A and B are shown apart, each in its own frame.
Chain A
Amino acid sequence: MRLLASLALAVPLAVQAAMGPDDARHLLNRAGFGATPREIAEYAALERTQAVERLLAGTGGAAVTAPPQWVREPITPPRALRGATKEERQAFLAQEIGRSFDLRAWWIGEMLATPSPLTERMTLFWHNHFVSSQQKVRYARLMYEQNVLLRRHATGSFAALLHAVARDPAMIVYLDSASNRKGSPNENFAREVMELFTLGEGHYAEQDVREAARAFTGWSLDLDTGAFRFRPFLHDAGAKTVLGRSGNFDGDEVLDILLAQRATAEFVVAKLWREFVSPEPDPQAVQRIAARFRAARYDLKVALRELFLAEAFWAAGSRAALVKSPVDLVVGTLRALEFQVGDPLPFALVTAGLGQNLFAPPNVKGWPGGEAWINSSTLLGRKQFAERIFRAEEMPRMAPAAARRPGAGELGRAPGFGRMGEEGRARVLRALGEIHFDPQRWLGAFHAPVSQADLERALLARAPIVALPPEATPRETIRLLALDPVYQLK
């Protein structure tokens, strides 16, 4: 044990060298979405610590692409809908469905355009941690605002993020906080904040849920504007006991009690570990990183730095150990191969068809991820995506069929596609025509002549399973590598 510890101390000396292309690809694929040959070459010349510092320093709190126009428009208040005719209500639903397509396309576009993929990866991580779904929230604008909030705090303070999320209007709708009132508590938020957002199952009792629910009573919405509003008359100001502490707590005080628990830091760090390092967190390393994370007042950059520089992150056994999420696969492919795309909407539909419908996770626990991403149905869908994307000449031929018959093909499988209407389908059709891959330009980033080994190293986390025919051209090699089982891993 002592020998191991001294070896670990010696590591910083050993990494004071350029990390090379394999490590660069590994880091960029894990911390972002895919990496171009130029990015890999650039990072290959850095030391590991330099590279990690550069990624962290590049994170930002705001999107670089303009959001849809309607995010600045007032919402249609529920009051207005109550008196509405059936047609008016249907028009409202159709409008919000249309907006949900705008929103998903916008976020995929941001992931493609961002100078800091780590920021978007963390925003997506929080979307899957502090889950809300437009299926229940209905208002696309509230979903947009939650996304802005998650990005603002994406690599900042987890404590600040938790407090902000608890009063986020989309969350208030999603977990029924608005119907949590003095004398008739609704436990939904209080339970999930403990089970899924902070402590994790097994670190609290049913009684803690009941008491905490009382502390959150009165946290509500202004039904006209959709903004957070505290309603003192609905708040239960009486004494509560949560996790052994007693007082006339309000919601913020309960959140602080949760943040003071060691279990919270460990729960979040273990989840970050599974996101970035490997499917099985090392309990000792998690405890060590969690202690520093908590001591640094939940500064997420402290946790991320520790995770990216952990020995386990770079270990051979951690390579090709994580399954790419649908967003990873789709955005990563487009970024790594420098596809030119116009309207990103088709890609939002593809990720939805593969099981990851942005702004609509399946339930409050989010997408289970990992191996659960891959089953016979989604694996086939992933391969079909790869087949299509690399055969640009097939796109225009396939698109009309997919668009004409909702229910056919992976686009048709995407939730809501059947309700897009003629206009929406025309939009998808147009967008499909704007996708372009230029193999000559992409291959130009390699030293000529480019070998199959160069391409494997750029695109795969380990050697392919299916042997490449030696006579395959570089362009054919790219396609075969994207169909290899290893391409689903990172």
Chain B
Amino acid sequence: MNRREFLCACAAASCAAILPRPAAAGVTPGYRNLLVLVELKGGNDGLNTVVPYADPAYYALRPRIAIARDQVLQLDARTGLHPALAPLLPLWQARELALVQGVGYARPNLSHFRSIEIWDTASASEEILADGWLARAFAAHPTPRGFAADGVVVGASDLGPLAGTGARAVALASTAQFQRQAKLAQPLEAPGGTRALAHLLKVEADVARAAAGLQGDHAFRTAFPQGAFGQAVRTAAQVVAANAGVAAVHLGLNGFDTHQNQSGVHANLLRQLAEGLAALRGALVELDRWGSTLVLTYAEFGRRPQENGSGGTDHGTANVHFALGGAVRGGLVGPAPRLDRLEGGNLAHGIEFRSLYATVLERWWGVPASGVLGGRFAPLDLLKA
């Protein structure tokens, strides 16, 4: 019996007064709610994703690569989407898409590797943490016993926020291939030895356990886009279809480090992203899981407001991210970018990135966030009440 059940059993009448406001019509927190993280690898250019098209400073900073006003998909009088994001417009209109602006952290680091480490481990800028934030969350607050895995990384070998000793994480290129090969691995007892050996034995055990449950050969009516990201979305949808118990899925899209001639490349990446996310929604609606799925994008950093001399953008700081799902309260969240108040040429942040994680932990999964995140970060109002 957990604390909440205990309290309710003892004092049913006063329950409502003691507990945080129960999410009556909206979200019921718990690990049955799925988190899908989408990593925009390389650092997405937020200003050309969610475009401040009414701000003359935007066009002044980006004479070559700005998205023309008449190309922008206008959301309100000053904010619009890159035209390649058109597949996301139905979600916006259905109020299932939130654009979280100005997400970042204090004293930003402009190294890809250090900054993604900060995001993956939910550390402060100068703090080095070994484990991913999801790995810490699952270690402190385990998923139900019957779950096949805590998290599944699709289409990559880098476990990112799931890396660490605390999580039962599985990486798979495709479920079918995984199943075929799983019979070659078997669970083993760890007899001690080096750290590397302990890691190997843990992975062997993960494989055996995950393979037992990750079936998934649902015939979707939704069409999945060609290309690596579309196929990763298809695999993720099959993992959900297997219904074996998975709390988090991680997807990645490569190539956002657009230092040179970025316009065509960036449009192509955003199109893949939008088509992939729209397909994910279609598939999860079919499975009746869209209402219990929260999709969040993240990246190591945004890009510099001023374009560089190569028709591209160098590493920046604060960025805009997407939150989408049937339970999401759609709309614009957080401060619009202030191009007139740059700090060292870069955007200041208005939302601490760990507030996004606190939202996931507290509002979506119902686990205390401050222990996992090493501090108190206010959750955002991203979910329907």
A residues near B (Cβ < 8 Å) are 176, 179, 181, 183-188, 191, 195, 201, 206, 279, 317, 319-323, 355, 363-365, 368, 370-372, 374-381, 383-384, 387, 408, 413, 462, 465-466, 483, 485-486, 488-489
Contacts and interface: CB of A to CB of B under 8 A. Distances in A.
A274 to B, nearest CB: 12
B203 A376 contact: yes
A376 B207 contact: yes
A375 B153 CA distance: 10
Contact of A323 (B170, B196, B206): B196
Contacts of A408: 177
Given A370-B196, A376-B203, 7 more contacts: A186-B259, A321-B194, A365-B113, A371-B199, A374-B199, A380-B182, A466-B188
Interface centre among A365, A379, A384, by most chain B C-beta atoms within 10 angstroms, is A379
Nearest to A387: B184
Nearest to B152: A376
A320 B199 contact: no
Contacts of B207: 376, 379-380
B129 interface: no
Contacts of B203: 374-376, 379
B9 interface: no
A317 B196 CA distance: 11
A195 B110 CA distance: 11
A371 B158 CA distance: 11
A317 B192 CA distance: 11
Interface residues of B, number: 44
10 contacts: A179-B308, A186-B259, A186-B310, A201-B114, A319-B194, A321-B194, A375-B157, A375-B171, A377-B171, A378-B171
Nearest to B228: A415
Across the A-B interface, give the 8 residue pairs with the lowest CB-CB distance, nearest first: A184-B309, A380-B181, A179-B310, A375-B171, A321-B194, A376-B207, A485-B200, A371-B199
A375 B259 contact: no
Nearest to A176: B259
B195 interface: yes
A368 B158 contact: yes
B204 interface: yes
B196 A322 contact: yes
Given A195-B111, A375-B157, A179 B260 contact: yes
Nearest to A213: B314
Interface in B92-126: 110-114
A179 B309 contact: yes
Contact of B195 (A321, A380, A485, A486): A321
A462 B171 CA distance: 28
Contacts of B195: 279, 321, 371
B146 interface: no
A290 B132 CA distance: 32
A321 B181 contact: no
Contacts of A376: 170-172, 178, 185, 203, 206-207, 210
B191 interface: yes
A466 B177 CA distance: 25
A408 B177 CA distance: 8
B66 interface: no
B197 interface: yes
A286 to B, nearest CB: 18
Contacts of B200: 323, 374, 379, 485, 488-489
Nearest to A363: B112
B201 interface: yes
Nearest to B176: A408
Contacts of B201: 465, 485
B157 A378 contact: yes
Interface in B154-182: 157-159, 169-173, 177-178, 181-182
Contacts of A462: 193, 197
A376 B149 CA distance: 12
Nearest to B199: A371
B40 to A, nearest CB: 14
A379 B197 CA distance: 13
B300 to A, nearest CB: 11
A320 B196 contact: yes
A195 B194 CA distance: 30
Interface string B197-216: 10111011011001000000
A372 B194 contact: no
B191 A465 contact: yes
A238 B259 CA distance: 25
A323 B203 CA distance: 13
A372 to B, nearest CB: 7
Nearest to B188: A465
Interface in B303-359: 308-310, 314, 344
Nearest to A490: B196
Contacts of B193: 320, 462
Contacts of B257: 363
Contacts of A488: 200
Contacts of A185: 309
A184 B197 CA distance: 50
Contacts of A377: 157, 171-173, 178
B13 to A, nearest CB: 49
Contacts of A370: 196
Nearest to B190: A465
